[in-house]
Amino acid sequence: MVVSVIGLGLIGGSMALDLKEKGFAKKIIGVDRSASNAEDALALGIVDEISDLKNAVEQADLVIIAVPVNATLQLLPQVLDCIQKETAVTDVGSTKQVILNSVQAHPMRKYFVAAHPMSGTENSGPKAAIHNLFNNKVAIICDQENSLDWAVERVKKMYSVFNSRILYMDGAAHDEHVGYVSHLSHVISYALAVAVLDKEKSTSTIFDLAAGGFASTARLAKSSAEMWTPIFEQNAGNVLPILDIYINKLQQFKTHLQNKDFEKITEFIQEANKIRRVLNKE
């Protein structure tokens, strides 16, 4: 199978590495707006060749769009416009509803299978690409009833090659769920990093103290603005009410502390400890 990957960063690059290694793709064609990322992807063996978008789509049995979600909005209709044969098109974007809406009326809509692999790191670019990034992780396929059966099967096969577990939901449910588990975590991490950086003008002090909880909670704050600002823009409708719930929890904690109500603080922490039941399932 010929697979074309548009966007040769962490996600597109990691997918390409596994698809080649596991024999799913006999050839990987790469497309990227950044000449240096394209060069790196070739040099690292992530792709076999670099091409322009039209040629990459025309040759492909499967096209993976792995660019920031604002760029996906521009590229997805262009990709669908170029389809000449039975080519399945999928994306990996962290938002789904706005992307699904954008191609609702496109004549080739059914060739598109909306998907989101729930795995990543805070690093970006082709040098961040790694093998087995999606192994044992969840991938969400959205609104598959609006896609052609063979196209859905091809995308499912790809995720089975990664050894990912596939969940199905509609775009609206996806955006709400990832708003809680992924987008809120990033807001919290960015806010924590900004609060500490504001306070501690001497970053060396932070560095000295940063090994434990701070480093793990602030890790996501290293994630790039190019990728995350468009995610917040597209999912503001979910993130705003979720933030209200979170701010309310912070306020509750603050009130207990102001009242020196340590019994309530203990209860709050014990309630939070129940997250072990969820996280220890992994």
Write down the least CB distance from residue 182 to ligand NAP, Å. Answer: 8
Write down the least CB distance from residue 267 to ligand NAP, Å. Answer: 34
**Under 8 Å between Cβ of 37 and 61:** no
How many chain residues interact with ligand NAP (CB under 6 A)?
32
Of 63-71, 149-157, 248-256, 263-271, the window that binds ligand NAP (rule: CB under 6 A) is 63-71
Q: Which of 30, 68, 171, 179 binds ligand NAP (CB under 6 A)?
A: 68
Cα–Cα distances in angstroms (integers) from residue 165 to residues 2, 87, 157, 194, in the given order: 24, 23, 11, 35
Nearer to ligand NAP, 81 or 198 (CB): 81
Asked if 76 is part of the footprint of ligand NAP (rule: CB under 6 A), the reply reads no
Asked if 171 is part of the footprint of ligand NAP (rule: CB under 6 A), the reply reads no
Nearer to ligand NAP, 29 or 227 (CB): 227
In degrees, to the nearest 5, what angle opens at C-alpha 51 toward C-alphas 119 and 75? 55
Asked if 102 is part of the footprint of ligand NAP (rule: CB under 6 A), the reply reads no
Asked if 222 is part of the footprint of ligand NAP (rule: CB under 6 A), the reply reads no
97-119 b/e (C-beta count within 10 Å ≥ 16 → b)? bbbbeebeeeebbebbbbbbbbb
Give 177's contacts (C-beta < 8 A, 6+ positions apart).
169
Contacts with ligand NAP by CB under 6 A lie at: 6-12, 31-34, 37, 66-69, 71-72, 75, 92-94, 116-117, 120-121, 124-125, 128, 226-227, 231
